[in-house]
Every structure is written in C-alpha cells, then in structure tokens.
Chain A
C-alpha cells in the first residue's frame, strides 16, 4: 500500500499530478500538499502525494553517516598502528 520509492512529478493538472517512478508513470492527487512543482520528488501513498522529499536533508543524512564511519575507520587504523 505504501510506496517507499519517491516519485518525480512530471506534469500537473489542477489537483492531480502525473508522477514517474523508474519509467512507470501514474497519477497522484496533490490535494494534501502546498506548492509542489514539476521536478519535485514526492512520496505517494494510496494515490496521494503525502510529502516532498527534501534533497538537502537527504544529502546531510548521508554525509553525517559517512563522517561517523570514517572516524571509526581512523580509530581502528590508529589502534592497529600502535605497538
């Protein structure tokens, strides 16, 4: 029921948007969202777009994770280098 893959808005006609996921297009109502535009990525649930995906936040999450893991690796390396 819940499509976890974000869909890209390719067309808007009033309250209905045409969205595309992996080359498959379908319609979704945008009644539950303010100011969406073509090119936005949205999460679609039961025929409705329920939110926009925030690109900055997505990049930040990945960056934070990479930073933590890189610190782990450095700590492991320096432990190994100790006599």
Chain B
C-alpha cells in the first residue's frame, strides 16, 4: 500500500543522489547533532550512519523526553505511584526507568496502580471511570506534547473533572540548545532540528539561539530523504562557511508554527526553571502550571518535593545527551546495562541513544 507523504520521501533515487552529493562536497570533519529522539530512531532504522563519509559524525542530542528527565522527577513519579489513592497514568517509555530505589514497573509488580496511556486525554477517561481515585499524569514532553496536555487540562476544567492532575517535567527545546552551546567541551557543527517540535514552535523560535551562536541549523522531517537533505544542507553551510537557519520540512512547519497550539499551551503553562539530566538547572526551560491552574498540579496537591539526587553511578546518559560521549564509550554499555537491565533512561526509551545503538548493533 502506498503512503502519501512517505513514499516520495523514501525515493531511493533521491536518496542516492543526496548521498553522492554529500560525499562529493564534504571535506571538513563535521559533528552534526540530531536533537530529536524520533530522528535518532529513523537514522538507525534507515541505516543513514552507514552511508555517510567518515568525516561526518552524528551525535544524539537532548531530544528524548524520557532521557532528559531528572532523577528527582523519576523519583517523584515513583513516590506518587506508591500512594493508595492514586492511579498513575504514564507513557510506556517511563515504566522501566530506574529511579533512586525503584522503577514504575517494579512498583506496578508490587501492586501499585500504574497505567500506560497513549495520550493525556486517555488519562481523563481513567479519571471519570474511577471517581474514587486520584489520577495523576506524568507529563514528560517537549513543545509537541505540552499543548496536548494543556488541552486535556482545559477539557477537564470544562467537564468538571476534579480528580485529575499532572506532575509536570515538561521541557522546552531552544533553551536546551543554548545551554548546550555554553557548555565546555561541547562541539556541534550543525543541528538537525526536530520536525514535530518545530510544527508547534515554527522556525522563528530558534532564531535567537541561531543568531547568538551561528550554528548551522536545518529543521528536518523524518523520512530518509528528509534527513539526508538536512545533512546535505548542513554540509553546504559548513563548507561555504555560511551558517543559516533553514526549514527543510516546509510541508509541516511554518515560520510561526501552530499558533492555536501555542496559545493553548501558554494559557495553562508558563516557563519555569527545569532540571535536565546531566545538564542541570536551565532557567525558563521548563513549563509549569500557571497559578490559575495550580489545582491541577500534582506536586502541589500531594505535597511532593523530591531532593536532588545523583544519577546512577557510571551512567553517561547526561554526557551522551550533550554529544560529549557515545554509548559505546560508557563502561556499562552492553555489560551491566542492557534493555533488560537498564541502568539509565537512554537504555530504556525507544528514542534513547543507548537503546538505539544496542538494537542496531547486535
């Protein structure tokens, strides 16, 4: 069966032409970072790493929402799951992430009521079906997901659902890119910018970061031709020393993005400081509930405040998220840490660098 907007962007002749062009033009050593976890998966699935010349290396960035979640937020989810009055609703990727002492799947095995949902909206259904319980949604998302959570909160308010709240560990992309560029040792010659975050934010959201650091940047879709074309543009920008902020995903991304989704997001959430795994606190990089919506804030409702805790010993997720290390350079990779016995979140999430390396290397 043919798929519109997919088949054309998997055209092998276009892909071959782009690869040839990249190989012919690229001379300088280049470190390109794919910011988004969905890109990481697509790059591996389509074997893109294997067709690039040796001078180009791809780094995975801080764009897998589960991977960037701080240890204290994982601990908060586990603490909430442990309450008898709570049904914890979560995306499946969080289940096996080790907290300081447990994980959501261990808690579930021991009787905690933890449900996997596909959307924040599904969690509202759980709340209406279980009026005697408190449903808490683990909100780990970037700009793509935050409006969906905000819309769910607005729907709850409209329907008078009061036994629903969210624990927000939401994060914003541009402040993370800026923090990355300020970190010692980080060297990125080009960003492959996330397609679906950009659908919401638009190209404009990256302009301040781009104008400060002048790092070549291209927004990309998720098919092989999209990704190869973004790499080709980044090669051209680097070889010609002409950094630019380009949009290679115009079929879905505009300059201003989805304004309605932005309005819904900003109606319910406001920027706050957030703690990122491996990176630390970044001002205005999180999205917390506005005072009018504090009633939906699980941290307030249940008085949850977890202490900062160190990340698992020996785990290099933080450095991997900044492009400072690769999974293979982590001493625990494939030894103590595997998808069956994950030590850090990058081995748990399907969008995580370690999980992707593992899946496609064995």
Contact = CB atoms under 8 A, between A and B. Distances in A.
B223 to A, nearest CB: 8
B151 A32 contact: yes
Nearest to B25: A72
B151 A2 contact: no
Give the dominant DSSP class at B's interface: helix
Contacts of B141: 46
A22 B3 CA distance: 7
Interface string A17-51: 00001110000010111100000010101111011
Contact of B91 (A1, A48, A66): A1
A9 to B, nearest CB: 13
Give the dominant DSSP class at A's interface: mixed
Q: Which residue, of A1, A21, A48, has the highest number of chain B Cβ atoms within 10 A?
A: A1
A41 B5 CA distance: 9
B93 interface: yes
Contacts of B144: 2, 45-46, 50
Contacts of A68: 21
Contacts of B9: 62
Contacts of B196: 2, 4, 43, 45, 50
A54 B260 contact: no
B157 to A, nearest CB: 13
Contacts of A72: 17, 20-21, 24
A69 B21 contact: yes
A53 interface: yes
Given A58-B8, A65-B229, A46 B251 contact: no
Nearest to B66: A1
A66 B258 CA distance: 29
Interface size class on chain B is 35 or more
B190 interface: no
B258 A51 contact: yes
A50 B199 contact: yes
Interface stretch (B49-57, B115-123, B310-318): B115-123
B81 interface: no
Given A4-B195, A32-B151, A46 B145 contact: yes
A21 to B, nearest CB: 8
Interface residues of A, number: 36
A28 B221 CA distance: 21
Contacts of A60: 250
Given A32-B260, A69-B21, A53 B14 contact: no
A46 B147 CA distance: 10
A79 to B, nearest CB: 12
Interface string B199-233: 11000000000000000000001110100010000
B22 to A, nearest CB: 11
11 contacts: A1-B351, A46-B144, A46-B145, A46-B148, A47-B120, A47-B122, A50-B261, A57-B251, A58-B8, A69-B17, A72-B17
Instruction: Enumerate the 7 nearest inter-chain pairs by beta-carbon distance, A residue then B residue, closest first.
Output: A47-B119, A69-B17, A4-B222, A58-B251, A57-B250, A32-B261, A57-B251
Given A50-B147, A50-B200, A51-B253, 20 more contacts: A4-B42, A6-B5, A29-B121, A31-B151, A31-B155, A32-B148, A32-B151, A47-B118, A48-B121, A48-B147, A58-B5, A61-B251, A62-B9, A65-B17, A65-B225, A66-B14, A68-B21, A69-B17, A69-B21, A72-B21
